Structure 1
């Protein structure tokens, strides 16, 4: 029986704890897409990253949720490059990844690994969907502090602004979130509040049932869009944001996502999401379905 060793790293950890676990597989060249999907389903984590060789970048990364492949994943990228650095497979302070939709830069700053995201794109929802969004999150209209909006920096997320008391008690209807996510090609809903903790600009929760993720504790590809949203609509735009996630999960796993914006005046040219990661486990799984 063919088996595969899988490394588990918790990304975007906060003070050496918490974070979001991602599975990292180093020998992706030896696996078929179906085998990757099987392993991601068996690993049971929100994302698994498969590393293989690339003629265009330092490494090729394929990301799979338990149900399907996605173009990018923030915490699995941070997990992968932190592990590659730890294993001595990345010698310099810069690197790069090839994904199914392009090349992205990677760099290290101290213990943090940072991944590049694209310049943001903002999209409005149709008015008819507002009621469905409220129903999906079990909210009343006056719970919303702004109109929900889709932001994409490589993946699309619905950004929803509430206060922290409301954020803490959200009881999502996953079937409705999944339906809306399918309609707008969203990874999920990223619900945020201005943080009561001075260290952070926002506290968040991410629901992505359309991709088999009920809720996860750190989402780098969602924190980037949120930073762009805060830059556009906030009172004091800046170039760095600190995002907290995982605090209000059923099993809390506090995370810290650091975002750096590359701006030219008011325009965001690109951005980087970074954080720390640590090895939390190592498992062996059967490859066959």
Structure 2
């Protein structure tokens, strides 16, 4: 059986870069085993499967090459970007049905923005010994003196370890040990690490993301991690504004520079929710053969 898969770059910057995701339309006829097989054949970090929904604009399911996951930021942006650009959905306030509930998606200036929850934090003092700060810095191949603040786990729907470095040049000098990162991620129940440094100018911070626990050594744009980082910048570093630009992908090999926009929804100066979005650009469409 042949299945068409649209490869869409999410969080593209200046018409290039971004993080590619597979988008499969009319996925109602596919079972879970077929979806997993398609995701494995496509070989990207995530593929989004779009089906009809009776309770939301569409139903979205996300598969890595090895498993199904509840949410994926860049695949959400890719899917809704493609649907909006092809006229398959209309309006400025849309919704997605996922395996753990409904989330809102807003279209702003032609760009999709996905809703995330208010942040929760877990401090380094609460980490188990298998995920102590010494294990974290060792897994990145860095010295503890590179840390600007203590690592913290932040979640706006998915758990990420936020690692704050003292300057941006350090991002190019990381020597990640993927097995060690996976072990710490398992101990803390993380999607992965989001390692960042503050940037000057329009971009508030530049970051790298490592998620070997989910089969992703590194990816160029991670919407579900950029949200927690923006919350961290607001809550912990005192950057009192509601909109942030996060750069990612510039320091990976090969580079794929990405631009992630985060809009915090504040109530009495506290983060009530947030939206994360950016550009989506169709790269190509391919045909994948799977067993019927």
**TM-score above 0.5, yes or no:** yes
Alignment partners' CA distance in 2, 1:127 and 1:8 = 40
Alignment partners' CA distance in 2, 1:168 and 1:176 = 19
Identify unmatched segments of 5+ residues in structure 1.
none
Alignment of 1:42-191 (within 5 A): 42-125=41-124, 126=127, 128=129, 129-162=132-165, 163-191=167-195
Select 2:219's aligned residue among 203, 216, 219.
216
* TM-score (norm. length: structure 2): 0.96
Cα shift readout 1:177-202 (whole Å, capped 9, x = no counterpart): 11111222211100000014x12000
Cα shift readout 1:90-134 (whole Å, capped 9, x = no counterpart): 121221001111111011111211000011111124263211111
Is the Cα contact below 8 Å between 1:104 and 1:116 reproduced in 2?
yes
Cα shift readout 1:40-59 (whole Å, capped 9, x = no counterpart): 11111111000111121111
Deviation at 1:288, TM superposition (A): 2.9
Identify unmatched segments of 5+ residues in structure 2.
none
Q: CA RMSD in A?
A: 1.2
SS in 2 for 1:177: helix
2:199 corresponds to: 195
4+ aligned runs moved over 2 Å, structure 1: none
Alignment partners' CA distance in 2, 1:27 and 1:154 = 26
Alignment partners' CA distance in 1, 2:216 and 2:118 = 25
* TM-score (norm. length: structure 1): 0.97
Q: How many residues align?
A: 287
Change (3 A) 1:127 1:30: closer
Alignment partners' CA distance in 2, 1:286 and 1:185 = 34
Select 1:274's aligned residue among 266, 274, 277.
277
